[in-house]
Amino acid sequence: MKILRTTTDNTDFRQLVAKLDSYLAKIDGEETVFYSQFNKIEFLEHVILVFDEDRAVGCGALKPVFSEKMEIKRMYTEPEFRGRGVASQVVGALELWAKETGAKSCILETGRRQKEAVSLYRKLGYQEIPNYEPYVGVANSICFEKVL
């Protein structure tokens, strides 16, 4: 597996995000409209791709938020590569990049219905925190933070 730092202009990233959006639409149904407004890739500055040979199989990105915090966004792993450590590699690469920018912690939001994602973040040392804006009061949202 190879890790690449890139930007939102990367075609592989855009293709994986389209698959992520389709997957989330199935899981979240009508709530997708609410979440979509906060998942625009134009506001992301740091993108990680994981490749298996020449194929992009996982992605994630960072968005600067708050003081000394970076938010992990747009995490996705191709279904046939799940359970192989791809997402852990993406998160690890994002955490390293966040540290390099001076961030002291990473935060993220995921859906309670995404049980695999919730388990992954807990396994990687993320602690559940109160929902931050814009997820305050959103029943399906669960927010996490990890001090770097």
pLDDT string in tens for the chain (148-residue length)? 999 999 999 999 999 999 998 988 888 777 776 676 677 788 788 999 999 999 999 999 999 987 799 999 999 999 999 999 999 999 999 999 999 999 999 999 999 989 999 999 999 999 999 999 999 999 899 999 999 9
pTM (two decimals): 0.92
2-104 has CATH 3.40.630.30 classification: yes
Q: Where are the domains of the chain?
A: 2-104
The 8-class DSSP code of residue 7 comes to: -
Q: Structure tokens of 113?
A: 């219905």
Instruction: Mark 7-41 as b/e (b = at least 16 C-beta within 10 Å).
Output: ebebebbeebbeebeeebeeebeebeeebeeebeb
Contacts of residue 34, defined as CB under 8 A and 6 or more positions apart, other chains included, come to 138
